[in-house]
Amino acid sequence: MTEKTKDSAKLDSKRVYSGRIINVDVDRVRFPNGKEGELEIVRHPGASAVVPFLSDPASDNPQILLLRQYRYAAERYIYEIPAGKLDGNEDPELCARRELREETGMEAETIEHLTTIYTTPGFTDERIHLFMATGVSRGGDATLEHDEFVEPEPTTLSDALHMIATGKIVDSKTVCALLFVAGFRSGL
Amino acid sequence: MTEKTKDSAKLDSKRVYSGRIINVDVDRVRFPNGKEGELEIVRHPGASAVVPFLSDPASDNPQILLLRQYRYAAERYIYEIPAGKLDGNEDPELCARRELREETGMEAETIEHLTTIYTTPGFTDERIHLFMATGVSRGGDATLEHDEFVEPEPTTLSDALHMIATGKIVDSKTVCALLFVAGFRSGL
């Protein structure tokens, strides 16, 4: 199997782990300089994440919704914005709306794409599509999966920024999305 | 093996893949609600990353150093700040200095910790320690590994922010670190 990309070629690929959420491949690759080597890569379907604004984002210090979420990888609860994996070929915006509904019971009038990030491109192809949601109101109850432990935590944007500055928010998609909306809103 | 954490317990752990950079475990876990389940987790040694300031960070529009780096996971070159894995029990600040030297040939007078992020805590324990470096000057030549393809790209902070706003910078550690220094510098 040879699959050309702009700057390299995949010469061979061996699936070394097939999991529930991730797969791991060891690929034999021709690098941009023509040399060959092996790379291990975690294949992930991608995800969407959304900053839900509970009040007008143009107001002085708008209210947003954070989640306290239990993360086994971090061995504790950490603060995040609502997020979750794309379901097959799901449209990223629909995924953001679905995850907002499932994790918080909230519906959004308007959803706007901020940017799309590679979480850690040294070893995974995972991308997360970041959105902000406005006109957010309760549509029903949250419907969590058996291994999701999530508590809504409304806060102000300025308090959330303080939590980033002091290391209380450490999740990269959450740091990216909050600093993105706050920074570009303030004219960075 | 039972290993207690604050909110859950590891009941059992099976290493399903041992790699060059990552290992993959499937852990049997008791969740905060007392129920049990299996989680797959990519174990990573952690990393440091650094924003190198080529001019006074307090000046109007300081110069920074980005890298164009080939990433197989992204199938292209993307823009990043200098970064790399912790070497065993290496101190994160020393790692940031070492990676700056190896990837760019630059030495820093001062290095300051910004924050530490979980890149994607849904499936990996990887954390990246983010720094900014000032008083940066050439100390020698870059010494790249055989599978590192890196080109230095000096730019201004405001151009870099524009690249974030327009989706030209998509690497999460780079977005976090640049918006962090720019945002809190401008009084967010």
pLDDT digits (tens, 9 = 90+) for A27-55: 999 988 888 999 999 999 999 999 999 99
Asked if A106 contacts A136 with a C-beta cutoff of 8 angstroms, the reply is yes
Task: Look at A8 and B70 and tell me if their CB atoms are within 8 Å.
Answer: yes
Residue B135 backbone class (left: φ over 0; alpha: ψ -120 to 50; beta: rest): left
B15 — contact with chain A (CB < 8 Å)? no
Distances (CA, A) of B169 to A19, A21, B66, B145, B188: 30, 26, 10, 23, 21
Q: Point out which residues pair with B36 in neighbouring strands.
A: B30
Task: Look at B73 and A175 and tell me if their CB atoms are within 8 Å.
Answer: no
Q: Point out which residues pair with B111 in neighbouring strands.
A: B133
CA–CA distance, B47 with A41 (Å, rounded to integer): 17
Chain A nearest-CA residue for B124: A73
Distances (CA, A) of B138 to B35, B101, B109: 56, 9, 11
**Mean pLDDT throughout A57-69?**
95
Residues 6+ away with beta carbon under 8 Å from B35: A146
Task: Look at B40 and A33 and tell me if their CB atoms are within 8 Å.
Answer: no
Residues of B in contact with A44 (CB under 8 A): 123
| Sheet hosting strand A9-18, strand order edge to edge | A3-4, A9-18, A23-30, A36-43
Of the candidates B25, B32, B26, the one whose C-alpha atom is nearest the C-alpha of residue B7 is B32
Per-residue tokens: B153: 């790209």
Phi then psi for residue A84, to 5 deg, are 180, 170
**Mean pLDDT throughout A84-107?**
97
The pLDDT tens digits along chain B (188 residues) read 444 455 778 999 999 999 999 999 999 999 888 889 999 999 999 999 999 999 999 999 999 999 999 999 999 999 999 999 999 999 999 999 999 999 999 999 999 999 999 999 999 999 999 999 999 999 888 888 878 889 999 999 999 999 999 999 999 999 999 999 998 887 77
Per-residue tokens: A52: 């839900």
Residues of A in contact with B118 (CB under 8 A): 71, 73-74, 78, 170-172
- Smallest Cβ–Cβ distance between B115 and the set A29, A42, A164 belongs to A164
Give pLDDT tens digits for B68-114: 999 999 999 999 999 999 999 999 999 999 999 999 999 999 999 99
In this prediction, residue A140 has a pLDDT band, given cuts at 50, 70 and 90, of confident
Per-residue tokens: A175: 């740091």
Q: What's this model's pTM, rounded to 2 decimal places? A: 0.95
Most confident of A97-111, A146-160, B1-15, B23-37: A97-111
Of the candidates B125, B128, B129, the one whose C-alpha atom is nearest the C-alpha of residue B111 is B129
Residue A73 DSSP label:
G
Residue type at position B182: A
* Closest approach of A131 to chain B, Cα-based (Å): 13
B161 — contact with chain A (CB < 8 Å)? yes
Of the candidates A151, A72, A141, the one whose C-alpha atom is nearest the C-alpha of residue B35 is A72
The reported pLDDT for the residue numbered A79 is 98
**What is the residue-averaged pLDDT of chain A?**
93
A118 — contact with chain B (CB < 8 Å)? yes
In this prediction, residue A1 has a pLDDT band, given cuts at 50, 70 and 90, of very low
CB atoms within 10 A of CB A170: 20
**Mean pLDDT throughout A78-107?**
97
Residues of A in contact with B16 (CB under 8 A): 17, 19
Task: Look at B73 and A173 and tell me if their CB atoms are within 8 Å.
Answer: no
**Would you say the C-alpha torsion A81, A84, A86, A91 has a positive or negative sign?**
negative
Residues 6+ away with beta carbon under 8 Å from B172: A117, A118, A119, A120, A128, A172, A173, A176, B117, B119
Task: Look at A19 and B40 and tell me if their CB atoms are within 8 Å.
Answer: yes
- CATH fold of B47-185 reads Nucleoside Triphosphate Pyrophosphohydrolase (3.90.79)
Counting Cβ atoms within 10 Å, is residue B54 exposed (0-12), middle (13-18) or buried (19+)?
A: middle
Counting Cβ atoms within 10 Å, is residue A147 exposed (0-12), middle (13-18) or buried (19+)?
A: middle
Chain A nearest-CA residue for B16: A17
Q: In chain B, what are the domain boundaries?
A: 3-43, 47-185
**Mean pLDDT throughout A111-140?**
96
Asked if B30 contacts B36 with a C-beta cutoff of 8 angstroms, the reply is yes
B42 — contact with chain A (CB < 8 Å)? yes
B102 — contact with chain A (CB < 8 Å)? no
pLDDT above 70 as % of chain A: 96
Among A173, A174, A181, A186, most B C-beta atoms within 10 A, so best to mutate, is A173
Phi then psi for residue A142, to 5 deg, are -65, 150
